[in-house]
Amino acid sequence: MTLAVDPSGRQTAAPEQSLYLVVPLYNEAAGLRQLHERLQALATTLQQCYRLRCEVIYVDDGSADDTLVIARGLPAAPALDVQVVSLSRNFGKEAALMAGLDYAGQGAVLFMDGDGQHPPALVEKLVQHWLVDGYDVVYTAKAHRDNESWARRTAVRGFYALINWGARQKIPEDAGDFRLLSPRATAALRQLPERNRFFKGLASWIGFRQIRVDYEPEPRAHGITSFNAARLIGLSIEGLTSFSVAPLRIASALGVLLALGAFLFGISILWETWIDGKSVPGYPSLIVGMMTIGGVQLLMIGIVGEYIGKILSELKARPIYFVAEHNVRRASPDAASG
Ligand code: UDP
Ligand code: MG
Which atom from ligand 1 is nearest to the alpha carbon of 27?
11
Give me the pLDDT at residue 309, please: 83
The ipTM, to two decimals, is: 0.94
Residue minimizing CA distance to atom 25 of ligand 1: 227
Ligand 1 within 6 A of CB of 225: yes
What are the CA-CA distances from residue 55 to residues 41, 83, 109, 189, 231 (Å)?
A: 13, 7, 10, 19, 31
Per-chain mean pLDDT for the chain: 83
Which atom from ligand 1 is nearest to the alpha carbon of 24?
7
Residue minimizing CA distance to atom 19 of ligand 1: 225
Ligand 1 within 6 A of CB of 196: no
Residue by residue, pLDDT tens for the chain (338 residues) are 444 555 555 555 455 789 999 999 999 888 899 999 999 999 999 988 888 899 999 999 999 989 999 999 999 888 899 999 999 999 988 899 999 999 998 899 999 998 888 888 889 999 999 999 999 999 998 877 777 788 888 888 888 888 888 777 788 877 888 999 999 999 998 888 777 777 888 888 888 989 989 887 777 767 777 777 787 888 788 888 877 777 888 888 888 888 788 888 888 878 888 887 776 677 767 877 787 788 788 888 888 888 888 888 888 888 889 999 999 988 765 544 44
Quote the pTM value. Answer: 0.76
Q: In sequence order, what are the residues at sequence separation of 6 or more whose Cβ sits closer than 8 angstroms to the Cβ of residue 173?
A: 141, 156, 157, 160
User: To test ligand 1's pocket by mutation, which of 21, 25, 26 has the most ligand atoms within 8 angstroms of CB?
Assistant: 26
Report pLDDT digits (tens) over 135-145: 999 999 887 77
CB 185 within 8 Å of CB 208: yes
Ligand 1 within 6 A of CB of 94: no
CB 86 within 8 Å of CB 323: yes
Give me the pLDDT at residue 160, please: 84
